[in-house]
Amino acid sequence: MRVPRSAVVGSAAIAAVLIGMLVGFPISAAKSATTPAQGQKATPGHGGDHGVDPRIIERGKGTFALYCANCHGFDGVPNLPGTPDFSRGEGLQNIDAALINAIRFGVRSMPGFDQTINKEELIDVVFYIRTLQR
């Protein structure tokens, strides 16, 4: 028995819709889940904002400009000899807790900022300095 052409086209269309419903949804959901957040650099690893809320980075930038940039440089390239070059990842190898400790209480020739910046500013600036590495 010959199947009418219109029936073949029709069932193909229905199959396409069904497959689209089954496959299309998870694909589009996965896509949106992996789309980089606004302002995030596409390259993973060092540099970029690591998907951190851009408002945190912006606040950290302000704190850094106010209290840190005179020694560390606005772009992380230091103005003061003996200061780690954040743009090259120097001083950033340690985990966040170690950076927080250094910033709060000072480290060797660097003064501490425990009396100067609050906890929120401290966290924001740690996220920010990690974005300076290129």
Phi/psi for 107 (5° steps) reads -145, 120
Count of CB atoms situated within 10 Å of the CB of 22: 9
Stretch that binds ligand HEC, among 5-13, 24-32, 47-55, 94-102 (CB under 6 A): 94-102
Cβ atoms of residues 56 and 124 within 8 Å: yes
Q: Which of 48, 49, 57, 113 binds ligand HEC (CB under 6 A)?
A: 113
Measured from the CB atom, the residue of 25 and 105 that comes closer to ligand HEC is 105
User: What is the C-alpha to C-alpha distance for residues 131 and 87, in angstroms, rounded to an integer?
Assistant: 9
Cβ atoms of residues 129 and 92 within 8 Å: yes
Count of CB atoms situated within 10 Å of the CB of 54: 13
Measured from the CB atom, the residue of 83 and 131 that comes closer to ligand HEC is 83
Stretch that binds ligand HEC, among 9-17, 19-27, 29-37, 67-75 (CB under 6 A): 67-75
Positions touching ligand HEC (CB under 6 A) are 67-68, 70-72, 80, 82-84, 91, 94, 98-99, 102-103, 107-111, 113, 125, 129
